[in-house]
């Protein structure tokens, strides 16, 4: 199967108003010449990015303002995407996280995370796969999961669960696809320096985070190459390999202590007058 070629093709990026999604949109425009459909909740951010990319990268850009925690918004976005039959690819990047004690996670926060990270991804993927199966056109989907979906992270238990679900869902579904010109890929980065990890609890973990430009570049390359699953960063890949030989209880215990220490330090800083 030949690599995906994005030049002058329409590519969707969800969660495009900040972080990994915004950087992926920039690289797709400037380095690959892709026309973009940018989707996020914040209209002002999307309009600003649209203006920049159209002026400086000389590509065409459409925006869709949608809250992916709402079923109606997801359905409406899908209808817009498939209306003209020009969609070539999609990067399903939008997601929300929670770093803290599970006992302090509200039911509303859980529902928002579940809808955004899981339900909306399944809705988009199911509709787009059906479209490309029916048309037989070339294209692909990249779903952004997480290393936490492979090795669950204490104090991010629900987030880990949502990312594990979409990893299993996508890798299994990929083997059901009959259209030989269409691919379904999963990207599983570790922590990335973005707005999502800018919270106080992540302060002492910043040294573990990957620069967003590097993460975006590796993700797009994995998408173009139609890799089934890609973990960015040599150390992440090596670590993931060797961790298979160690008891998960031991690994998660060590990780839990590191994350708990970061939270405690954040609480101490916040308690200072």
pLDDT of residue 88: 98
Instruction: Beginning with the edge strand found earlier in the chain, give each strand of the sheet holding 139-144 in spatial order.
Output: 61-65, 35-40, 10-14, 87-92, 139-144, 182-187, 229-230
Does residue 163 have an active-site annotation?
A: yes
pLDDT tens-digit series, residues 46-83: 999 999 999 999 999 999 999 999 999 999 999 999 99
CA 269 to each of CA 54, 272, 273: distance values in angstroms, whole numbers, following the listed order: 43, 6, 9
pLDDT tens-digit series, residues 79-136: 999 999 999 999 999 999 888 889 999 999 999 999 999 999 999 999 999 999 999 9
* Residues belonging to the chain: 273
Closest CA relative to residue 93, chosen from 176, 29, 217, 186: 186
pLDDT tens-digit series, residues 132-166: 999 999 999 999 999 889 888 888 899 999 999 99
Cα atoms in the Cβ-side hemisphere of radius 13 Å centred on 245: 4
Q: Which domains does the chain have, with CATH numbers?
A: 10-271 (3.40.50.720)
User: In which band, very low, low, confident or very high, does the pLDDT at 204 lie, cut at 50, 70 and 90?
Assistant: very low
pLDDT of residue 119: 97
% pLDDT > 70, the chain: 78
73 DSSP β-pair partners: none
**Active-site pick, 163, 187, 217, 254:** 163
- End-to-end CA separation in angstroms for the chain: 60
**Active-site pick, 88, 159, 187, 259:** 159
Does residue 178 have an active-site annotation?
A: no
Cα separation of 22 and 80, whole Å?
20
Token reading at 68: 């992916």
pLDDT tens-digit series, residues 3-44: 999 999 999 999 999 999 999 999 999 999 999 999 999 999
């Amino acid at each position: 199967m030949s690599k995906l070629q994005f030049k002058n093709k329409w590519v969707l990026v969800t969660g495009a108003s900040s972080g990994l999604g915004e950087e992926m949109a920039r690289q797709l425009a400037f380095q690959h010449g892709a026309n973009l459909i940018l989707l996020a909740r914040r209209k002002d951010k999307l309009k600003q990015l649209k203006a920049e990319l159209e002026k400086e990268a000389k590509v065409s850009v459409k925006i869709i303002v949608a809250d992916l925690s709402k079923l109606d918004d997801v359905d409406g976005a899908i209808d817009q995407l498939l209306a003209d039959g020009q969609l070539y690819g999609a990067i399903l990047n939008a997601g929300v996280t929670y770093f803290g004690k599970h006992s302090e996670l509200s039911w509303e926060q859980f529902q928002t995370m579940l809808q955004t990270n899981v339900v909306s991804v399944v809705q988009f993927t199911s509709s787009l796969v059906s479209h490309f199966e029916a048309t037989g056109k070339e294209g692909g989907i990249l779903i952004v999961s997480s290393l936490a979906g492979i090795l669950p992270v204490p104090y991010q238990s629900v987030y880990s669960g949502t990312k594990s679900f979409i990893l299993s869902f996508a890798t299994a579904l990929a083997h059901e696809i009959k259209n030989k010109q269409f691919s379904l890929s999963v990207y599983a980065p570790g922590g990335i320096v973005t707005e999502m990890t800018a919270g106080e609890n992540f302060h002492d973990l910043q040294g573990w985070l990957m620069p967003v430009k590097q993460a975006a570049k590796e993700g797009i390359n994995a998408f173009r190459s139609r890799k089934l699953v890609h973990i960015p960063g040599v150390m992440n890949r090596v670590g993931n390999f060797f961790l298979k030989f160690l008891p998960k209880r031991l690994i998660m215990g060590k990780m839990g202590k590191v994350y708990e220490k970061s939270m405690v330090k954040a609480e101490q800083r916040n308690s200072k007058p």
